[in-house]
Chain A
Amino acid sequence: MAILERGERYGLEVLEEATRVPELGIAEGTVYPLLNRLEREGKLRSRWVSREDASHPRKYYSLTAEGAVMLAAMKEGWREFRFGLDQHLG
């Protein structure tokens, strides 16, 4: 969702950006099902875009307003968690 906050992306772009950070340990096979679920939950919207220079269409995803709210809440939760953990770790 944070990747899509930076703008509309198609599935493979999301996958490539997500796997660019190996520490996240994201398996390729999990990205498409996750996008599919977030779309069904109304957090993402998608559209198929046909291109003249390619034989296949691309499915572009973007955040919905509901998704943006959820992402903001998740970011806040993560900051609080990290702050709390840092307090303990010193």
Chain B
Amino acid sequence: MSSDSDSTSTSDSRPGTTAEYLRRVEARLHALPDRDRREILGEIRSHVAERYGTLADADAAAAVTADLGSPETCAEAFLAEYGVTETMSPGFGQWRRMLLVAAGVALGLAAITFVVFGLLNVLTPPSAGSVWFIWRDVGLGRYGWLLLFGTSLILAAGAGIGAAALLRRGRRPTP
């Protein structure tokens, strides 16, 4: 069961309050899936209420900072357990990931194109007279095309694995 009272938006996010502490933790956890982030914030909120519930809010915020560290330190301890070490702003981290995925996809598509044309040049008879004939004019020869085919295959696999790793890192499923 997930904590239903996890909403982190609160009207009181002034500096030095527990709500502001949670808001800063949440901002640092942007790389984690929503569900995981809510769980973590729910846990911290429960800890604060349980342990410092009798204190004035400003005192509770100071106490939680003393115990769990600054919001940034607290969030980074969770991120480290996820293998996420980036501490960039949410926007930059997301855009960088999207850019890398797009570059990987583009590289993969280019590599696949070479693979297809390479295969066609190797497999089709010289007398085929098709559009692929243009590619034969490059003069790579059968072994040249095979080399290109192998290299392209490795590039395509690398791009695919890299893109998948980036996506998985950004949206790690919760067991």
Which residues of A are in contact with B by a Cβ distance under 8 Å?
Answer: 10-12, 15, 28-30, 32-37, 39-42, 47-48, 54-59
Contact = CB atoms under 8 A, between A and B. Distances in A.
B2 A48 contact: yes
Contacts, number: 72
Given A33-B81, A48-B3, A59 B74 contact: no
B5 interface: yes
B28 to A, nearest CB: 13
Nearest to A58: B46
Interface of B: 1-5, 36, 39-40, 42-47, 49-51, 53, 67-69, 73-74, 77-78, 80-82, 174-175
B70 to A, nearest CB: 10
Contacts of B47: 11-12, 15, 32
B74 to A, nearest CB: 6
